Structure 1
Amino acid sequence: MEPERGEAPPPPCPEPPVSPDALAFDDDEEDLEVFSKDASLAEANPFSPLIPTSPLSMINHYKFEDEPGLRDLFITVDDPESHITAIETFITYRVVTKTSRSEFDSSEYEVRRRYQDFLWLKSRLEEAHPTLIIPPLPEKFIMKGMVERFSEEFIETRRRALQKFLSRIADHPTLTFNEDFKIFLTAQAWELSSHKKQGPGLFSRMGQTVRAVASSVRGGVKNRPEIFMEMNDYMEIFTQKINLLDKISHRIYKEERDYFHEMKEYGPIHTLWSASEEDLVDSLKGVANCIDKCCKATEKRMTGLSENLLPVIHEYILYSDILMGVLKRRDQIQVELESKVDALSNKKAEKDLLREEIGKLEDKVECANNALKADWDRWKQTMRYDMKSAFTNVAESNLQYYEQCLASWESFLTSQTVDLHLEEDSEDRP
């Protein structure tokens, strides 16, 4: 049973630690990201507040007073600020939290966070909840030619992505009560730095590595439940399709951009031509005006693609990697259980001790299975809503584009028809 908002969650199921390789990130390397934007939807998410909201509505402009009965945690990421030191340049963002939860000491917090802090939070969530689907963060690297490092576009793109990341966590029924998430939202910079140093110890990390190596040596899981085999098959197909869709969408965007730049040069030519053709002045200027309107409509459609479609597709490319990792971590838990069962059957160790370990591992596997199945259903529902919203927005944008272009050319044709009739009437007069 999920905890009521404002109440402390029940004690979590024991979950195994995650290999540091899966959680490691480079603290020294300044981060860059793939071009990604999103825009807000006017309509509300029809799903429960426990379901993560659409990526098209992740720019959280909710006020604390809005929907008090439905939400009790509101997070806003804004006010990017550049910091230049002797050894690095980085951006921090203001994170404002408003809440009515009893476990918070205050109703409002304001802290500043840099990208590395978000990476730390993501790694801590993965470590604490290895079989839950942790929302993706934008990558460290930027696609060549898309945006420049520290440009206004880059900073705004990152801000929106970080806003989306925190909003998804806040809307998750389990992650929202994570203690590290609370610390991230409330601790000042020096307090967070102190807390970040309290990570897993050397021996703990070594133990995780040894278990990961042992699992790979023993081979894969022997008796994976059918539901997780179906999940794995689904994700393989989904990954293939979403990557293909991303590739085609970017190609369409590039072709649209090239068409836009050519059309911007095409219109002025008619205007220049009209200066030397007295009899065609009105017609040439009319064509130039139509091209200009079509050019503006094309630019608007490009913005719709870059804000409503491309970021949604890219986010789910990141999600596909996350889900494959979650499935592998679930398998690792089952592999460890199966190895203990094999040891018991082969009498390689003390039976009583093995039975106790097997009991604990069975509990871990059951908790991992239940957590993943619940998150899987939630993720699929959200994904379908996000994709439907993105495609609907693109369809509406295309309709508006063609209607605007058609109206421009129809208006031009009507004006030319009227002019022809006037000329004919003047010629028929004696």
Structure 2
Amino acid sequence: MDDVDRGKLTSNRSFMVKNITKTMTVVDKLMDERIITDGMKQDIEAERTPDDKNRKLLDIIPRRGPKAFQAFLKALVETDHDFVADRLSPGAGDKYRPVQTSSEKGMVSPVEDNYSIHEPEIVLPKKWPTEKDCVTDFEVKKCGRNAEEMWRKESNDFYKMRSKPRGRALIFNNFVTIDYREKDANSKEWKTKLQMREGTDRDEQCLRTLFEQLHFDVEVRKDRTVEKMKEDIEEEKKQPLHKAADCFIVVFLSHGSADGIYGIDGKVLTTAEVKRSFNNKNFSSMTNKPKLIFIQACRGGTYDLGANVTDSYDADLADARKSMGAMNLNIPQPERLDEADSKVEKSPSYADMFIANATTQDHVSFRNRKYGSWFIQALVYIFRNYACQAHLLDMFTLVNRLVSEGRALDNESNIAVAISEFTPTLRHKLFFFPGLTEVMTHSPEN
């Protein structure tokens, strides 16, 4: 390998360590070209973390002869790392990307030069949740070449998502370490109001993995009272990173009521308060930028028994009981002025917000003790598979569909169902562009 190519590898090493996500697939391609030997592959596989695997690969490549650099570029392109190859050698993506028909690609890119959206090929599980699909070890699918072209262009059709990190993701995870009890006013007996939320750690782990791969700086706050959640929110809004960020995400994993989200003290942080705290007026550093609020909590104590659409009720009931027994399903308590004469530029207070709930108003949501909640696991499944080609509203339509596939039993052994719900005030389409992170505008330390 000549000094010029070796210099390109050296100067872009940190970028490649963080952005090559299919290391062993790249290695397999290099083995096909006889650049990497089986022994070298084993050395790379022995490294503990994905970053360490990338470092080991990058240590080996410069020592593998004059054809190694071009073979490496080709392997990157063939494993959907076009943007990494182009970083090393502009035009490498066009040079090595084989011409394919849409059917050969399997997944159609969401955009062309005019940003028209193609319907992605959707393959969803028939039942939800399942052990096969609710995994914690996953890789978010990266954008293809056409999405990268859109990402590089400025347009009012979609929100800017170019920063690295994109912004902050704040997760509140109220596990409820000890069941919260209150004394009944009539019987004077102590009754459990909030149970431990087994399975919520699985949700937290999956969300952290997802948001980090979507290029967000993630922070988790656990077991908070309502007062502490309010303090955390005010502290969060003062984070300097928001001024340069492109997006903000906050997630609540907790019990809930018709009014809002329970703290571990049995008090309620109302949904209205959350929305007000993060609107354009009260979160000025994120004005005109998307603010996403995801709430995994019940919104009342009513079970949705659904509508019978087939004659297979008995079979569905048997399947639900079997599923609950096998999966240890936990049905929780309710987590039981036409014109304005002004020249001052204004932005609507509640514009650019997106609020998604695990269930509809007054209904319970469902959580599996082993695999996590129906809603959060559906969100993670859809985002990791389709964020590379679909915008937020389309993805949440798929989340709704997936949540609706769940089946559980109410307290009287009737089949219960659920459907998630979202309310957008977004003014542009929101694509996450996973894998596209060339622009570094700020860092978590700033």
> Fold-level match, TM-score > 0.5?
no
Which structure carries more relative contact order (alpha carbon 8 Å, separation 6+)?
1
Compute the TM-score of the two structures, normalised by the length of structure 2.
0.21
Higher helix share: 1
Compute the TM-score of the two structures, normalised by the length of structure 1.
0.22
Higher strand share: 2
